[in-house]
Structure 1
Amino acid sequence: MSHPAAAEPIRLALRVSPGGSRAAVIGRYGNAWKVRVVAAPERGRANDSVVALLASTLGLKAPDVRIVSGTTSRNKTVELTGLTLAEVESRLTDAQEGAS
Structure 2
Amino acid sequence: MPYTAGPDGLKLRLRVTPNAGRTLIEGVEALADGSAVLRVRVAAVPDKGKANAAVIALLSKTVGVPKSAITLVAGETARLKTVVIAGDAPSLIARLPQ
Matching residue's letter, 2:21:
S
> Aligned to 1:93, what secondary structure does the other structure show?
coil
Structure 1 portions without partners, runs of 5+ = 1-5, 95-100
1:37-91: CA deviation from partner (whole Å, max 9, x where unpaired): 110111100000000000001000000011100000000000000131x433332
Q: TM-score, normalised by structure 2?
A: 0.82
In the alignment, the residues of structure 2 paired with residue 71 and residue 88 of structure 1 have an alpha-carbon distance, to the nearest angstrom, of 23
- Does the alignment pair 1:51 with 2:44? no
Partner residue in 2 for 1:3: none
Partner residue in 1 for 2:28: 28
Q: Percent identity?
A: 35
Is the 2:10–2:92 Cα contact (8 Å) retained in structure 1?
no
Match runs of 1:53-72 below 5 Å? 53-72=58-77
Matching residue's letter, 2:93:
E
Partner residue in 2 for 1:10: 10
1:4-42: CA deviation from partner (whole Å, max 9, x where unpaired): xx8513210000011112210101112110011110111
Structure 2 portions without partners, runs of 5+ = 1-5, 31-35
Q: TM-score, normalised by structure 1?
A: 0.80
- Does the alignment pair 1:81 with 2:74? no
Partner residue in 1 for 2:95: 91
Q: Which is richer in strand?
A: 2
Q: Which is richer in helix?
A: 1
